[in-house]
Structure 1
């Protein structure tokens, strides 16, 4: 059977689920696909090229068209939720995407939609780009931590470690940390996203006030 590029990519994503990013090597991938390593390099000249392709595949669908009835903030929220779901769809998905800088269609479309929404309400292109990437950095950072915590041994997970530290923590820090480690990750994510978007709303208001004052 002829080894196709799509076969290598699918095999790499399956190996990612099985071994995690640290266990993903070209040697292991070749063994999983029952081919010599050289066969992989005909499709991907380096592991970095393979990771770029994996990142591009992971975010497929994130930039799908949005409902025209959504406000700019609702569009940004939807894109952030889609990105988190895409990253969570594979083990260490957030680490894969965070370590790549892909200019392929799937990766570019999601950012383009957010930038267009922000420009439409008055942000200049440079600020729209900065806001978009700050939002995606939040998604990546939160999801990297979320997936990292999920890998901890149940007998040595975050709540267990915190319980050992609690006697040294004064209030309200102890209560805050307990709430942090016991909260639903999706709830924590949305809370942080709300805070981020509230800041963007304030920035837009200040931008509009400045323009009015200069008119």
Structure 2
């Protein structure tokens, strides 16, 4: 039986994720792909949750690369774009990362750089946490939906689903909105939503404090 290091197991798990998707990522299949007994994986990871945490941390590697010299909101846009792009490189990447609350080195570095950007912008710590959380939710939610749509498109099921969504909408305005939304380039939708999000955050930072607003920024 080959001696595998923790990094080798994570490499194999990422490869299996790309091939089988999150639902097909099992310890049995991973052990078979690595030519080891599935129980041997527990030498490195006590349970599947710990393995998924390690995969999630691996997937965000590189998101914390040096940022361009730019205003804080442009830097956040760069970080959000990097996160989306790196998650899209791996099948179900966003599903793996969502809700893991990882404390791995790559994830901690990403969090650190986001909070450094928000601190330089002048946000109070408690508000910076909310902003970082909301930004992560936007990126993950958009990317989960984007990857699900891509899976449906690959199986030739997306066109029928979109047609059904439009046909089942009685209101012409809503039907047109649905068609325009899902016919659009996902990258353009992402950029639009990100600009709208950051516009709201800029407004909050720029507005003067009002009575009862202490601690909001």
For 1:31-110, list aligned pairs within 5 A. Answer: 31-67=32-68, 69-110=69-110
Match of 2:124 in 1: 124
Distance change in 2, residues 1:165/1:134 (3 Å): closer
Find the aligned partners of 2:43 and 2:84 in 1 and give their Cα distance.
32
Partner of 2:82, secondary structure, is: helix
Q: TM-score normalised to the size of structure 1?
A: 0.92
- Cα deviation for residue 165 of structure 1 reads 4.1
Partner of 1:82, secondary structure, is: helix
Q: How many residues of Structure 1 are paired with residues of Structure 2 in the alignment?
A: 208
Deviation digits for residues 31-72 of structure 1, max 9, x if unmatched?
A: 1111111211111111111100000100011112212x2110
Find the aligned partners of 2:201 and 2:99 in 1 and give their Cα distance.
26
Partner of 2:152, secondary structure, is: coil
Deviation digits for residues 122-161 of structure 1, max 9, x if unmatched?
A: 210110111011001100000000011111154421x422
Find the aligned partners of 1:106 and 1:136 in 2 and give their Cα distance.
15
CA RMSD, 1 decimal: 1.6
Distance change in 2, residues 1:129/1:10 (3 Å): same
Q: Can you give the 5+ residue segments of structure 1 that lack an aligned partner in the other structure? A: none
- Cα deviation for residue 205 of structure 1 reads 1.2
Find the aligned partners of 2:94 and 2:162 in 1 and give their Cα distance.
25
Find the aligned partners of 1:203 and 1:62 in 2 and give their Cα distance.
26
Match of 1:10 in 2: 11
Q: Which shows bigger deviation, 142-151 or 112-121?
A: 112-121
- Cα deviation for residue 169 of structure 1 reads 2.8
Find the aligned partners of 1:171 and 1:197 in 2 and give their Cα distance.
31
Q: TM-score normalised to the size of structure 2?
A: 0.91
Find the aligned partners of 2:147 and 2:166 in 1 and give their Cα distance.
24
Partner of 1:34, secondary structure, is: coil
**Pairing 1:137–2:137 present:** yes
Partner of 2:4, secondary structure, is: coil
Q: Which shows bigger deviation, 172-181 or 75-84?
A: 172-181
Distance change in 2, residues 1:165/1:71 (3 Å): closer
- Cα deviation for residue 85 of structure 1 reads 0.8
Match of 1:160 in 2: 160
Find the aligned partners of 1:165 and 1:185 in 2 and give their Cα distance.
18
